[in-house]
Structures are given as structure tokens and as C-alpha cells.
A and B are shown apart, each in its own frame.
Chain A
């Protein structure tokens, strides 16, 4: 197995009034291609901060992130962080964050269109992905017309439609009821297996964390692997 992601001494500080708060204290993480990793931790432990750094939504104060052999700092130096976000990551948030002015299929097409993919091809790929998540009958609906569970499945389709090497999910079941949570975990596990995706999910929920083969615990800004 090749290494998909590696972080080296990742440090992130936030300024809270007069105080500098060190949220991540030299995080080192190595994830192999096709691995399903969960990171557990209490609120404020720094899970989401780590995920935002991995998704290049935020920048570390020190340390480095290497995805598919290339440092995120290299992307930053070239002014190509947006290319990294589009080509290397697929993001799933706690709130589905679908764009309300666009239909379900248009939301799913978005990463491909941003990449410059032809509209027709993007629509076909989005349609296939929606079929995989069981929402082929909802393509023309708008986000406000579908349920929370369905919205989260659309978010999964959007994160995977462009086949990125790294799927990052931040508390994806946080807003779902137990029935939908179970469905979502099954779906994520199935797609991860089918596509051999590298998935990193941060959660404070045991059932989702336990679905992952490799599990970490984040406490006081550091990662500890759990058995």
C-alpha cells in the first residue's frame, strides 16, 4: 500500500483575545491509500481544525501536509491551493452545505464543472453517483425539497463524484437521527470499499468511529491511535 497522506509536526494556534491557544501540537499522521480512518475526540479537541488543514481550508502555523507525494506548501507557493482542494479532496460537512439555488444534480456536478469538465459529461457522472447513493429520483429537486438524510447523501455524492484521492468528513452524522445515521455509515463504508477511497472522518460518535479500520483519539492537540 502506498501512502496517501502524511502530516509532519502539524501545529495550529488561534488567538483568543490576549492568549495564543495551541489547538494542534505537532500532529503526525500517516494514512495509506484506501484506508478508512476515524478521529474521535471531545468538542474543542482540534478534530475539525485538523480536517480544515487537511482540506486546505486553513493553513498550519508550522509543519507540513503531503498528499500523493506533494506538499501542500508547494501548492500554496504556486497559488494553486484551489487546485489541491478540487483535485485531491472531497469534503463532507456536518451541515450538508448544499447550494440552495441549485438542484440536487447541479450540486453534485459542481466539483466537475469547477474542474472544467464538459457539462454533459459532468451530468452523466453526477447522475451515476446519485444512483449509487439511492437518489436518482431526486435529481431535479432543490435542497429545500429533500430531507436531512437525503441532503447528506447528496453531499456524499458531491464529495466523491470527481474521484478525489482523499475524502474528508467532519461530523457527517452530527445532524442525523439514529435511522439515517445507520444508513449513512453503511453507505460511506460501502462506497469506501467499492471505490477503495481514502476516508478520514472526524466524529464524537462511536458507531461511526467504529466503522473505520484505523481509529485515532484526539486529545489536547495530539493524536493517539486506539486499538
Chain B
């Protein structure tokens, strides 16, 4: 590439005045800039939501479940031996292996009966009086700062369940579960025991927070009357992106049922994949619209410089030189728009919570003033732009994916150049004699 082509392309974009860009270039720049900014903001929120949803599931649920049968009806008596053996074999892939009990149960509180899921996990016992919480444990929202569960008939319930059933810390609930092993002759005998609600947890996933009751494993073993058995071995892997590969390894060492979280939550992950497809489509549409914008802008630049093309050719500029000039105009417009748009998008995304907060407080201040001044009674109901209770998060989840940004920037810049190739090629094919004579192209 020669300097002369860049010099001419830049002058066509800048114009001869002191302004940074000519009107034509400014309009194209604004198009690409706005597209890139909105794309980054929208997709950062979109990614944030997806990530939060995924995290809430991967944080709370075992990544791989090992059981003796797919219905979890057979208790695993020698689970501690299996746990050690499997961990020794697969320590490179596995973070933890824990024995758990997970079962549907009935929660009774006075006249209220609710279908819940009971999950019992291994909690380290301290001083034989309280259980401490492991590393991957849901956030306790009530009482705040709680970091241990008292030994005895204590349980934790989801924060949404507490709201739905009107439960408070210290209340007593009754849990009803099937007792012992199922037998064809006797069927199932229910086991009922009162538990004190010691606190509320929040996973960020409504389904869990409204349905799950957490117990210490030994309490659940007593409730189910299964001795020192568990129903499943819950595996947390080091890399959740390698679930399928790790599953294959477990199949070699565990001759029974092996289920990954992705298999169990098939619909959920299918929905996430669908969202991803929609996201990709949005990106694609953005790129198409940016390309059309660049084509139109470059056509305008070519049209308004037709005579220059004739002069440059008469002075000895080659067809390739002309092609380069107008390809570069599109390339520069696209690059400037994409880079500044992405940077602005990142900035706005990072400050989005404050921006929404500022908008909320501004609307509420103006609304309250308007209500007091012009309305009888002067009552103003506060506006929440993103109601926390509806969307179920306590902060706006934003995730800026650097790899994605690189891709957007690279594709936008590359396609800007490619989009301007068509008008640039037309310019390069113009016959100088026709232009100089003032004829058509």
C-alpha cells in the first residue's frame, strides 16, 4: 500500500476544512459507531444474564451425578470407599466428590402442605455442635453473616420459599419423606420429622430458591432411615466445559449410572443454545446493516469524486491505486466506527448500573415534583426501571467477553473493507476520457 492512496482516502474522509470528518464520512461513522455501541451493550447484558443463569446452576447442582440406578432408588452403602477410589483415579479432572441425598419431600407447616425437594449434603461438623459451609455453598441472605448450621434438626430453605410460605427464621416445619428402601411387599413407609428453619439461602435460580430445602447429610440419613448410605455421589469437575469427556472417564471407573448436569437440564441448556443462536443472528444482522451503510457511504464518496478519479487516472494513477483509495475510505470509516463504538459500548456497559440508577432517581425526582405541584394528593409511586423482584437479581448482570469483542471488531473492520470493494472496484473501472468529457461512467 502506498502513502499516496492513504493520503487521498483520508482527505476524502476528512474534507479540506478543520472538522475531524466530512459530512459524508460523519454519517457513515455515526451508523457504524451506533451499531457497534448498541451491540456491545445489548450483548454484554445478554451474556451477563446467560452467565448468571449458568453459574447459578453450576454453583448449586452437582456437575455429574453417580448413582446405582437412574431412578436413585438404590442406596450406595460403600460410598466412602467409592469416593476415595474415584477421586484417586480422576483427581486431574475432579474438584470434589461428595455423597448426597436428593429426594422429593412434603413440607408441612400448620395447614399448609407444599411439595419440595430435599437435598442433603456433606457438611463438616465442628465441635460436635455446628456444621460449617463448604466453598461452593449458596449465599445465605437471612440471617446475614451466617456461616454455620446448628447441629440437630435444623434446615435451610430457599429465600423465595420463605416468602411464598410466609416462613421466618426460627419457625418449625415438618418434612415428610419415604422411609428406608422401597419394597414391593410393603411399598413405602413415610418418615416425618420437625425441623427448625435456621436460615434462607439464595442461588439466583428461582426454581431452586422456591423449592429446595437443605439439610446436613447425617440428619437426612436419619430422616430417610438409610444408615450411612447415600443416594448419589455428586461430582464437581474442574472444567465445566469438559463435562462430556469427564463423563466418559467416569463410565470406565463407575459401572452404574453417570449423568451430567447438561443431560439432566437438557431443556435449560437447549434454551441457552437457542439464545446463543439468536445472539449470533443479531450480530450477523448488525454486520449486514453496517456493510450496507459502508457500501452506500463509499458510493457517495465515489460519486462526489468522479472527476477526481478521471484526473488521477490522467495523471497516472493505476486502477489498483483507485481501488485502494476507495477501499481504504470504507475501511477507515468502518475501523473508526467499530473501534470507538466498541470502546463506548464497554464504557457504557460498565457504568450501566449507575446510568440506570441515575435515570431512575431523575425520573422519580421529576415525577415527585410534578405530582406535588400539579396533582391533587401529590402521591408519586417510585419507578424502578428494572424491578429487582421481577427479574430476580440484585445487580444488573454484565459480562463483557473480550474474545467476542475482538471478533466483532475484526469482522466489522474486515467487512468494512470488503463492503467498500464493490463501489471502489466500480470507481477503478471508470474510463478517464468519459469522466473528463463529462459523460457517464
Contacts and interface: CB of A to CB of B under 8 A. Distances in A.
Nearest to A87: B316
A142 B18 CA distance: 13
Interface residues of A, number: 26
A112 to B, nearest CB: 9
Interface stretch (B7-15, B123-131, B337-345): B7-15
B315 A85 contact: yes
A110 interface: yes
A99 B12 CA distance: 11
Interface in B309-352: 310-319, 321
Given A97-B436, A102-B11, A114 B308 contact: no
Which of B16, B310, B313, B319 has the most chain A CB atoms inside 10 A of its CB? B16
Interface stretch (A26-34, A52-60, A180-188): A52-60
Nearest to A58: B433
B2 interface: yes
A101 B4 contact: no
Would you call the interface of chain B mostly helix, strand, loop, or mixed? Answer: helix
B316 A57 contact: no
B432 interface: yes
Given A57-B436, A58-B433, A83-B316, A99 B321 contact: no
Contacts of B431: 57-58
A85 B308 contact: no
Interface of B: 2-4, 7, 11-12, 15-16, 305, 307-308, 310-319, 321, 431-433, 436
Nearest to B4: A113
B315 A110 contact: yes
B39 to A, nearest CB: 33
Contacts of B12: 101
A190 interface: no
A130 to B, nearest CB: 17
A117 to B, nearest CB: 9
Contact of A101 (B16, B314, B317, B433): B16
A116 B16 contact: no
A97 B437 CA distance: 11
Smallest CB-CB A-B distances: 4 pairs: A86-B316, A82-B318, A57-B433, A58-B433
A83 B4 CA distance: 16
A114 B307 contact: no
Contacts of B319: 82
B313 A85 contact: yes
Contact of B15 (A101, A113, A114): A101
A226 to B, nearest CB: 27
Contacts of A87: 316
A99 B308 contact: yes
Nearest to B314: A91
Nearest to B7: A113
A57 B311 CA distance: 10
A114 B16 contact: no
A60 to B, nearest CB: 12
Given A85-B315, A114-B312, A97 B307 contact: yes
Which of B15, B16, B316 has the most chain A CB atoms inside 10 A of its CB? B316
Contacts of A114: 4, 312, 315-317, 321
Interface in A80-113: 82-83, 85-87, 91, 93, 97, 99-103, 110-111, 113
A174 interface: no
A142 B16 CA distance: 8
Contacts of B11: 101-102
A114 B325 CA distance: 12
A8 interface: no
Given A113-B7, A114-B316, A116-B2, 11 more contacts: A57-B432, A85-B315, A86-B317, A93-B436, A97-B314, A99-B308, A100-B308, A110-B312, A114-B315, A114-B321, A142-B16
